[in-house]
Structure 1
Amino acid sequence: MESSFRRGAREGMRDFLPISVGLVPWAMVTGIAMRSIGLSPLEAMGMNLLVYAGTAQLGTLPLIASGAPLWLIFLTALVLNLRFVIFSAALAPAFHGHRFMRRLVSSYLLVDGMFAIGADKLRRADDAQWRWGYYIVPSLYGWGLWQCCVLVGVLGAGVIPRDWSLEFMTTIALMVMMIPMLRERPMWVAALVGGLGAVLLRELPLRLGLIAGIALGIGAGFMAERALARRAAR
């Protein structure tokens, strides 16, 4: 193990540890939610290992519980995870030259928090071993922490008091991870329009208001970016 890998791993863990605290309530809520719709502990943990995307899991669980058609469940999960296409494209240069299996594992482990704290450093760093250590060690730690805390939620679904308000803590955790990404005007526009759209359209059937809000946010962000580009070209 090269020293540059260890340096990257130490710095990655130092950056990721504070934000990883937010994974604890979020994972517990996910575990509780999976049990609340009738999944067995084995089914819940199987879904957690297969999906490993808290937002998609929480977003599709009400649809699963209501017996929504499979195409809608699939579409909802796809839309909720569209941001990872952007994240992956942004991080792709940092993994140039790595083996396919390493890139495949890295894509599975990618989470919002890792992108928020590490995207700039990974793109700027020249040392491939440092980049790999910076990314993979905190990512594996985050995966292990998520699995353990989801398991706590799954096994303690009937024990954890409802007045702990874990859902509110999860919302705060998501906001903490989102704020570092809001560096430019188009991202602010996308977040505001998407959030307002999801709230105003929340009465749509089958929770389609969430999908509509995401589509509105993406469209607004794209138009804002195009408008800024045209202004800069003048």
Structure 2
Amino acid sequence: MNESFKRGAREGFRLMLPMSVGLIPWAIVTGVAMRSSGLSALESMGMNLIVFAGTAQLGTLPLIASGAPLWLIVLTALVLNLRFVIFSAAIAPAFHGQSWSRRIASSYLLVDGVFILCSEKLFNSDDPQWRWGFYLAPALWCWFVWQLGGLAGVLGAGVIPKDWSLEFMTTIALTVMLVPMAQLRTMMVAALVGGLGAVALRGLPLKLGVIAGIALGIAAGFAADWHDRRGQA
């Protein structure tokens, strides 16, 4: 860890620290939800470590609890995490020249908050060591906060009062991350169409309304982007 890496790590950590506070209630709610769905403490923490994606974890738990087929559970998790394909492709040039081990670690540690806050600044430096530290420090911090919060929820599932309304805090945390992304017209269109579609189709069997809403949102986002590009041509 040279001085350049340390400077990047310090700057990335300071940038992420305020937003990471919102991860705590979200992680606790996810831990409680995993236990409430019938998973053991060991299974819950295993899911927290392996999946490490709150949206996918919360989205698949009702399917697991209802005994849905494995293919649907896997498909739902993949669809809910499709955004990470876009995120990773967007920041991939910042890791040019890095080893495969670092790239694999980066893909596992990538979370919404790191992408939203750090992606632009990653390209403002030509120093690969600074970029690696700037990415790694906040990503590892979010991983630590998520695992610790999840463990608190798993162990305290039967103790945490239901009237604390931690689910509401989770909604706030998600909203804070979505607001910067919604500044783009295409993202706003995708979010509105996807959200309204999921609500309108919530009656579909096997919770397929969520997947349908996501598909509608993606299609609307591409359509809005195509329309904007055509208008600029």
Please report the TM-score for the alignment, with normalisation by the length of structure 1: 0.98
Correspondence list, 1:1-234, <5 A? 1-233=1-233
CA distance in 2, matches of 1:177, 1:158: 29
CA distance in 2, matches of 1:190, 1:8: 33
Q: Which amino acid aligns with 1:126?
A: D
- How far did 1:180 drift? 1.2
Instruction: Name the CA distance, whole Å, in 2 between partners of 1:138 and 1:94.
Output: 16
Deviations 1:74-96 (A, max 9, x none): 10000000000000000100001
Shift in Å at residue 127 of structure 1? Answer: 1.3
Deviations 1:51-89 (A, max 9, x none): 001100000000000000111001000000000000000
Q: What amino acid is aligned across from residue 90 of structure 2 in structure 1?
A: A
Counterpart Cα distance in 1 of 2:187 and 2:39: 36
The secondary structure found in structure 2 opposite 1:202 is: coil
Compute the displacement of 1:125 (Å).
Answer: 2.0
Kindly provide the amino acid, as one letter, of the partner of residue 123 in structure 2.
Answer: R
1:203 CA displacement = 1.4
> 1:84, 1:156 → 2: CA distance?
30
| Sequence identity (%) | 71
Gaps of 5+ in 1: none
Number of residues paired by the alignment?
233
| Counterpart residue type for residue 166 of structure 1 | L
Q: Which amino acid aligns with 1:118?
A: C
Distance 1:184 1:146 in 2: 28
Counterpart-to-counterpart distance in 2, 1:223 and 1:83: 17
Deviation at 1:46, TM superposition (A): 0.8
RMSD between superposed Cα atoms in Å: 0.8
Tell me which stretches of 4 or more aligned residues in structure 1 moved more than 4 Å.
Answer: none
Shift of 1:200: 1.2
Q: Could you list the per-position Cα deviations for residues 161-207 of structure 1 after superposition, in whole angstroms to 9, with x for gaps in the alignment?
A: 00010111101100101111123211111111111111111111111
Q: Give the TM-score, by structure 2 length.
A: 0.98
**Structure 1 residue 2, shift from structure 2 partner:** 1.7
Deviation at 1:36, TM superposition (A): 0.4
The code of the aligned residue for 1:155 comes to L
Q: Please give the secondary structure, in 2, of the residue aligned with 1:124.
A: coil
Q: Which moved more, 1:135-144 or 1:79-88?
A: 135-144
